């Protein structure tokens, strides 16, 4: 689904989406096609859903956005270092 379709179907909502088709240019990730996993009333619930799903499927590309945004570009940041699991 395109972002415009998502904003029409889920107005004024927080949405947990999975990136289906993406491209990157100049460290900016453009999400061209997404699947809505769940919509939420508040950001705490949305991030809770994100954390739960990310823990089960860490390789899936998941994001939380509010549908008031006009677009969904994500700046890529690369992590270099040691991660500690808790």
- Is residue 13 a part of any domain in this protein? yes
DSSP per-residue string spanning 40-69 = ESSHHHHHHHHHHHHHH-TTS-EEEEETT-
Q: Considering the chain, what is the average pLDDT of its residues?
A: 92
Q: What pLDDT does residue 67 have?
A: 97
- Is residue 84 a part of any domain in this protein? no
- Is residue 82 a part of any domain in this protein? no
**Phi, psi at residue 69, to the nearest 5°?**
-65, 145
Total domains present in the chain:
1
- Is residue 86 a part of any domain in this protein? no
Query: Residues 9-34: pLDDT tens digits?
Result: 999 999 999 999 999 999 999 999 99
- Is residue 66 a part of any domain in this protein? yes
């Amino acid at each position: 689904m395109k972002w415009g379709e998502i904003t029409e179907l889920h107005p004024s909502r927080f949405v947990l989406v999975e990136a289906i088709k993406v491209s990157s240019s100049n460290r900016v990730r453009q999400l061209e096609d997404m699947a809505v996993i769940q919509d939420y009333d508040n950001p705490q619930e949305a991030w809770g859903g994100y954390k739960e799903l990310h823990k089960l499927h860490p390789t899936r590309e998941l994001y939380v956005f509010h549908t008031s945004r006009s677009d969904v570009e994500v700046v890529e940041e690369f992590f270099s270092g040691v991660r500690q699991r808790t």
